[in-house]
Amino acid sequence: MNIRFYNAKILTMIEGQEIFEGELHVEGSRIAYTGAALSDEEMKADGRSFDREIDCEGNLLMPGFKNAHTHSGMTLMRSYADGLPLQEWLETKIFPLEAKMTGDDCALLTKLAVLEYLTSGITSIMDMYLSPEEIATACEETGMRVVQVSGINKFGPSIEVFEERYNKLNGRHPLSSYMMGFHAEYTCDRELLEKLSELAHKYKAPMYTHNSETVKEVGECKERYGMTPTVFLDSLGLFDFGGGGYHCCHMSDEDIEVFKKRGLSAVTNPGSNTKLASGIAPVKRFLDEGINVAIGTDGPSSNNCLDMFREMFLVTGLAKLREKDASVVSGLDVLKMATVNGAKAMGLNDCDVLEKDKEADIIMIDLKQPNMQPVNDIPNNIVYSGSKQNVKMTMIHGKILYEDGKFDIGISPEEIYKQAAAIQERLF
């Protein structure tokens, strides 16, 4: 479908480009034009025709948010096991319940998460969870762009299945891909990590994992290997081709140097880290050192919501609190983390900015809501006062999946809720 958005404010997120008033054209799945308003004569001369023309009424078009770390299928456990520290929460509540889940369960629960992502303007997710084949299908069916990351650990799957999935799930659909990764150092033995390193070198592939989330995690790794998780994993060659770490709350100077040397992305998850009392990531230090910082919600059990607006506020708010300096980590810094930096961390180089020939992953922010008025500084308004109520439209791959409170994902919200409730009743 060819769509014209006109009478819009446009924030391309291209470095150095200011917000401007104009229009944006989508042809199929790609952006065909961004710029000043065109006259009928100019469009006729260019042979431009549209299936739909949308008057943005002065509202803002910008790149969709990139949720660079999540566990979508954990919608099942939302508000199920709150008030516990991370490892007790995992070992006594989450892992036993996950052992009962089927691939079909994961697919349906992922569709439930997709509804929430769309209302928050999230157009891409980096998902680590069970049953990746079924999750890929669920995202493809609903239109969500997904980059899956393996969560292999000492409980499974086998290294052979890991490699098979890497080859099978890459390139099967324009909306889905699969990255190498593992759950965490503390859930993998050394032999498994060494095998993963061999595969990373075989395919020259980046590697992703939960990293330095808690003091306990870092301390126990030092007891085992005499090194922090970051340094230990790097010593095995796991980061020789890049990748990244999720959480990264407790980082030493040596850890920072590894991230710089290997070009790793640090994906901060402030909502989850606050709720689990895990810690505050040194975001300002990362930025000062030139490390790519992206934002993730983490899963809807540890968070408990999939709301990029809340995460963006917490990123800057907690950074200011940690540094005792209200000037650090600006609203624009955070918007870059949620869009451009997230795309970089996820390997989505065609989804980072609004520019001709880039993927049409676009959101419309309603500037006419009370929380956006007066319009003194749009990036700051979005980060400091924005909320889901401001997401008027979410488009992925050129298709509008959410608009004015209504979804177009091939299945009704009511049916998803009904099936999710049945899964809850069966497993609980």
Mean pLDDT calculated for residue range 193-207: 98
Q: Rounded distance, CA 299 to CA 127, Å?
A: 9
Mean pLDDT calculated for residue range 6-19: 98
Q: Are 181 and 207 in contact, with CB atoms under 8 Å apart?
A: yes
Express each pLDDT in 377-398 by its tens digit: 999 999 999 999 999 999 999 9
Express each pLDDT in 21-67 by its tens digit: 999 999 999 999 999 999 988 888 888 899 999 999 999 999 999 99
CATH level 3 topology of 65-346? TIM Barrel (3.20.20)
Mean pLDDT calculated for residue range 219-231: 98
Mean pLDDT calculated for residue range 257-280: 97
Q: Which two structure tokens, joined as six digits, stand for 53?
A: 């023309």
* DSSP character string of 294-330: EE----TTTS----HHHHHHHHHHHHHHHHT-TTSS-
% of residues, the chain, pLDDT over 70? 100
Q: How confident is the model at residue 89 (pLDDT cuts 50, 70, 90)?
A: confident
| Residue in the structure block whose two tokens are 């020259």 | 204
Q: Is the dihedral of CA 232, 238, 239, 244 positive or negative?
A: negative
Q: Domain coordinates of the chain in residue numbers?
A: 2-63+359-407, 65-346
Mean pLDDT calculated for residue range 201-228: 98
pLDDT above 90 for 81: no
Q: How confident is the model at residue 212 (pLDDT cuts 50, 70, 90)?
A: very high
Instruction: Pick the range with the lowest mean pLDDT from 37-46, 229-238, 253-262.
Output: 37-46
pLDDT above 90 for 165: yes
Q: What is the pLDDT of residue 184?
A: 98
* DSSP character string of 18-54: PPEEEEEEEETTEEEEEES---HHHHHHTT---SEEE
Q: Are 32 and 47 in contact, with CB atoms under 8 Å apart?
A: no
Phi/psi class of residue 29: alpha, beta or left (left: φ > 0; alpha: ψ in -120 to 50)? alpha
Mean pLDDT calculated for residue range 1-7: 97
Mean pLDDT calculated for residue range 408-425: 98
pLDDT above 90 for 239: yes
Q: Are strands 145-149 and 265-268 parallel, antiparallel or unpaired?
A: unpaired
Q: What is the pLDDT of residue 90?
A: 87
The domain over range 2-63+359-407 is classified in CATH as 2.40.170.20: no
**Helix 190-203 / helix 159-169 crossing angle, nearest 10 deg:** 30
Name residues whose C-beta falls within 8 Å of residue 160's C-beta, 6 or more positions apart in sequence: none
Amino acid at 22: G
Q: How confident is the model at residue 82 (pLDDT cuts 50, 70, 90)?
A: very high
DSSP 289: T
90 vs 384: which has the higher pLDDT:
384
Express each pLDDT in 133-162 by its tens digit: 999 999 999 999 999 999 999 999 999 999
Q: How confident is the model at residue 351 (pLDDT cuts 50, 70, 90)?
A: very high
Buried b (16+ CB within 10 A) or exposed e, 260-275: eebbbbbbbbbbbbeb
pLDDT above 90 for 84: no
Q: What is the pLDDT of residue 43?
A: 85
